[in-house]
Amino acid sequence: MVSLPKGYQIRRTEVGDYLGVMDTLKVLTEVGHVPREQFVETITYWNSVQVPWIGSKSHGNGVQPIKAYDPLVITNESGRVVATGTIVIEAKLIHSCGLVGHIEDVAVASDQQGKQLGLLLIEHLTEIGRKAGCYKIILDCSVKNVEFYKKCGYTQVGLEMEFRF
Ligand code: ACO
């Protein structure tokens, strides 16, 4: 794994990260109007949802629920959020009730891009999925980011379809 720059930290997103996360996500897409209370409600919901143990080999024999949402932030030496990304763990029936990780909403602040923060974030999200016992992790990205994800160890398979409302 690559190392964080001095003073930078990677950790689970907290309700106090409201402004930093919302600002960082602007490099990804149209964020829209998200009042602080809705951010707090969403983080609280993410913290509460668990995937029950359902037979993944890596979980052994015990019943060990895991969090379904793992939102991460990277903060810089002054505590500012400079990157964010989430893995969502999906419980399936196929693959013997296997787990699939979905990496979502990856964003590195414009002035922090090119410092390996994106790579580091993906490495950490991937490790969460591996430890959870996922048999694979998937994500959607635009063509311009394919090379970035290849550098993170991902391979290009299939096509993305969308039905937009
Ligand atoms: N094309 C080709 N190579 C790239 C690209 C790219 N678009 N982006 C990064 N790389 C390369 C870097 O050059 C580096 O290569 P090296 O190790 O040989 O030097 C390697 O990939 C790692 O790059 P990082 O410095 O970790 O990339 P960065 O921190 O800038 O993060 C990211 C990349 C996340 C794509 C960032 O540019 C960003 O936030 N972009 C805008 C939002 C976005 O597109 N997010 C991804 C959406 S997909 C999703 O959310 C599932």
Quick: pLDDT tens for 5-35.
999 999 999 999 999 999 999 999 999 999 9
Q: Which of 148, 156, 160 to mutate to test the pocket of ligand 1 (most atoms within 8 A of CB)?
A: 148
**What pLDDT score was predicted for residue 25?**
98
**Residues pairing with 107 in the sheet:** 84
Does residue 36 carry a pLDDT above 50? yes
Q: Whose CA is nearest to atom 44 of ligand 1?
A: 28
Span 56-67, mean pLDDT? 64
Instruction: Write down the H helix ranges in 3-156.
Output: 18-24, 36-48, 94-97, 117-132, 146-151
Q: How confident is the model at residue 52 (pLDDT cuts 50, 70, 90)?
A: confident
Does residue 63 carry a pLDDT above 80? no
Does residue 153 carry a pLDDT above 50? yes
Does residue 149 carry a pLDDT above 80? yes
pTM of the full structure: 0.95
- Alpha carbon separation from 65 to 12, 51, 60 (Å, rounded): 18, 6, 12
Does residue 56 carry a pLDDT above 70? no
**What pLDDT score was predicted for residue 55?**
46
Q: How confident is the model at residue 39 (pLDDT cuts 50, 70, 90)?
A: very high
**What pLDDT score was predicted for residue 60?**
54
CA of 151 to the centre of ligand 1 (A): 9
Q: How confident is the model at residue 62 (pLDDT cuts 50, 70, 90)?
A: low
Span 36-49, mean pLDDT? 98
The answer to whether the CB of 120 falls within 8 A of the CB of 2 is yes
**What pLDDT score was predicted for residue 121?**
98
Residues at CB less than 6 angstroms from ligand 1: 27-28, 103-108, 113-119, 139-141, 144-145, 147-148, 151
Q: What is the atom index within ligand 1 of the atom nearest the CA of 121? A: 26
**What pLDDT score was predicted for residue 65?**
84
Which strand (E) or helix (H) includes residue 51? strand 50-51
